[in-house]
Amino acid sequence: MNKILNVNLGGIPFTIDIDAYTHLEKYLSTIRRHFSDSESCDEIIHDIEVRMGELFQESMKGSSIISNKELDEVIQIMGSPEDFGAEAVEDDYEPTEESRKNYTSRAKKKNSGKRLFRDGDDKVVAGLCSGIAAYFGVNDPLWIRIAFVILLFSGLSPIIYILLWVIVPVARTSSEKLSMRGENINISNIAKTVEEEITELSKRISKIGKDLSSKKK
């Protein structure tokens, strides 16, 4: 039996065998080197680890130890470094062709479909209308907001809105935001989402600074 280790991935504790751990370390190190020049590197790696932790939880199915089998499946879903222009992982391990086909099939299932979330980045009240617009592929959430205003005259709109506000969670992580838009939750898209968030945050901070400066004058 292989030696096992206890690791923490995205805040979730796991037990992993030494072979899988070695492969995982090389995989994450390759990704970190690729994004090392980005100001968002730490945030990107954190969100990648969070998503991998979620996938491990879903794929364990009663198994208590992560092996190369579970790791291969997660990597197929997340994408290999070469998929987004990074160097290949320097590792002797390679999954079998049969396993690769099985993992690819599961990856397509994992990356398909949308989930309904509230969009906290584009909200007037709670981001519910923006989330519904994203779910149904409506480019401008204004139309959903107009629909709620029209329903307001029926007396149902406030009740429906409050119920959905309570039931529908807000998209907080990169994975949830990608799922809300129906985009593949892989390394490339996670990195893009994180960098967009950091850029938008920088713009907001800069705007606040300019507003404060103008008020002092």
Instruction: Encode the chain (217 residues) as per-residue pLDDT tens digits.
Output: 578 888 888 888 888 888 888 889 989 888 888 888 888 888 888 888 888 888 888 877 656 788 888 888 888 888 887 777 666 666 555 655 555 555 555 555 555 567 889 888 787 888 888 888 888 888 888 888 888 787 777 766 677 788 888 888 988 888 888 888 888 888 888 888 888 877 776 776 766 666 556 655 5
Measured in Å, how far apart are the chain's first and last C-alpha atoms?
72
pLDDT of residue 102: 55
pLDDT of residue 85: 67
pLDDT of residue 62: 58
DSSP string, 5-68: EEEEETTEEEEEEHHHHHHHHHHHHHHHHHTTTSTTHHHHHHHHHHHHHHHHHHH-TT--SB-H
Give the DSSP H/E element, type plus range, for residue 4. Answer: strand 4-9
pLDDT of residue 191: 87
pLDDT of residue 70: 84
Q: Nearest to residue 19, comparing CAs of 3, 30, 36? A: 3
**With contact defined as beta carbons under 8 Å apart, do 51 and 174 qualify?**
yes
Specify the DSSP class assigned to residue 153: T
Taking the domains of the chain in order of start, what are their residue ranges?
Answer: 4-110, 128-216
pLDDT of residue 153: 74
SS3 200: helix
DSSP string, 96-130: -HHHHHHHHHHHHHHT-S----B-TTS-SSSSHHH
Give the DSSP H/E element, type plus range, for residue 203. Answer: helix 187-216
Q: Residue 62 and residue 183: Cα distance in Å, rounded? A: 29
Specify the DSSP class assigned to residue 92: S
pLDDT of residue 94: 60
pLDDT of residue 181: 85
